[in-house]
Structure 1
Amino acid sequence: MSLTMAILMLVGAWLSVAAAMLWGVLRIARRHHPHPTLPKKSNEPVPARRSRRHADAH
């Protein structure tokens, strides 16, 4: 295998690992992101929202 091919394979492997890590981080961030909810259009008071704390590791 030539030096050029080895360097190209090294760069390609690095890019694939970086893309996989980015996909995983975005997947976790999307899963744990709180979704906004619209308030009800009634005259009833809206209950106070309690903050939920997620565990750091699952």
Structure 2
Amino acid sequence: MSLTMAILMLVGAWLSVAAAMLWGVLRIARHHHPHHRIAPEGKPAPTGNFRKA
């Protein structure tokens, strides 16, 4: 295996690991982000947990 191929494989592996970690962090952040609902005029904003599970 040539040095160029080894470097390209190393960079590709690093990018795949970075993408997997980013996907995991975004998945967890989206799961734990509070959902806010905007109340229509004249009604109070709803309170409580609106996640379905």
Normalising by the smaller structure, the TM-score range is 0.7 to 0.9
TM-score of the aligned structures, taking structure 1 as reference length: 0.67
Percent same amino acid among aligned pairs?
73
Runs of 4+ in 1 over 4 A off after TM superposition: 40-43
Structure 2: state its 5+ residue gaps.
Answer: none
Q: What is the alpha-carbon root mean square deviation over aligned residues? A: 2.3
Of structures 1 and 2, the one scoring higher in RCO (CA 8 A, sep 6+) is: 2
Gap regions ≥5 residues in structure 1:
53-58
Higher helix share: 2
> How many residues were matched structurally?
49
**TM-score with structure 2 length normalisation?**
0.73
